[in-house]
Amino acid sequence: MVRTGTWLTVALALLGRQATGQARVDERWPLDPGGSVRIVSPFGRIRVLGWDADSVAVSGRLDAGAGRFYATGDAGARKLGVDIAADARNPGRAELEVRVPRRATVWVRSTAAAIDVVGMDGTLDLSTVGGAVHVVGTPQDVTAETMDGRVEIAGGTGRARVKTVSGDILLRGASADLGASTLSGAIVVRAAGWQRGGTGVQRGKFESVTGDISFDGELVRVPPQTIVDFDVVTIQGTITNTLGQGAQQPKARTGGSGKELRFSTGVGGAQVTARSFKGAIFLEPK
């Protein structure tokens, strides 16, 4: 009876394991501090964490049908990800957590996975068709693109370029060069804090076809003889400006329909450009 019970327990465990159909990933390789990592995973979640070790480590799980995990490369460049079979009809989720040196260059591509990046100081190139992108840290350069997902960048960046089709964009923190464009999503910029070379935003350009644009924050402090230039245009939307006493108001657009507002504050050195087709544009003090 004892033997029968033992075999029954083993059989149930095997059945449970087959039912979940999950595979575990736990790998680690050396990587130069300034090396590069390319990550490709179609579905699920990709989480990238910066750390101080000279290596790249991957942990996670793959659901049944998620595909096969692979990794190639050396200490200078490493490529890893999940391959899905060409005939897979119901691909499962892959949950990957990748730890890389903080100053490394990271390139991520996905079909629908959410992308989270925390604690990186290097260059980021992130793209997902249907997932969201979330970045927290002080990367030198960020490019983030998605079709329908939301993009949020928080911290201080040297340069950031964000692009969506219908996803909303939220940019929190400071940047030397900040740009965002979308067709129907809303763009919200809360520019405050410190970034390499100063505080606030030195240069910004924000464009939307039908979504609202809101800029609420600080402009970089530079010698007083340098001015801050605003160039704001909307075709069918509205422009609201409350910056400074006697804030200038928009006028009819020269040579076409819509409103435009161009003025200089004379107290900083930033360049802010905002474009919208139907959305409203707000300029507000922090």
Taking residues 148-154, report their average pLDDT. 95
- Reported confidence tier of residue 87, pLDDT bands at 50, 70, 90: low
Confidence of residue 175 (pLDDT cuts 50, 70, 90): confident
- Length of the chain in terms of residues written: 286
Stretch 235-256: mean pLDDT: 84
What's the mean per-residue pLDDT of the chain? 85
State the average pLDDT over residues 58-68: 90
Residue 53 has pLDDT above 60, yes or no: yes
Higher pLDDT, 209 or 267: 209
pLDDT at 179 over 60: yes
Average pLDDT, integer, range 197-205: 72
Pairing of strands 105-110, 36-40: parallel
Is the model's pTM score more than 0.85? no
Q: Average pLDDT in the 217-241 region? A: 73
pLDDT given at position 1 = 46
10 versus 168: the higher-pLDDT residue is 168
Q: Please give the pLDDT value at position 286.
A: 60
DSSP the chain: -HHHHHHHHHHHHHHHHHHH--EEEEEEEE--TT-EEEEE-SSEEEEEEEESSSEEEEEEEE-TTS-EEEEEE-SSEEEEEEEPPTT-SS---EEEEEEEETTSEEEEEESS-EEEEES--SEEEEEESSS-EEEEE--SEEEEEESSS-EEEEEEEEEEEEEESS--EEEEEEEEEEEEEESSS-EEEE--SEETTEESEEEEEEEESSS-EEEEE-B----TTS--EEEEEESSS-EEE--STT----EEPTTSSSEEEEEE-SS---EEEEEESSS-EEEEE-
Confidence check: pLDDT of 239 > 80: yes
pLDDT value at residue 272: 80
Q: Which of 19-57 are b and which e, b meaning 16 or more Cβ less than 10 Å from the residue's Cβ?
A: eeeebebeeeeebbeebbbbbbbbbbbbbbbbeeeebbb
Average pLDDT for 168-182: 91
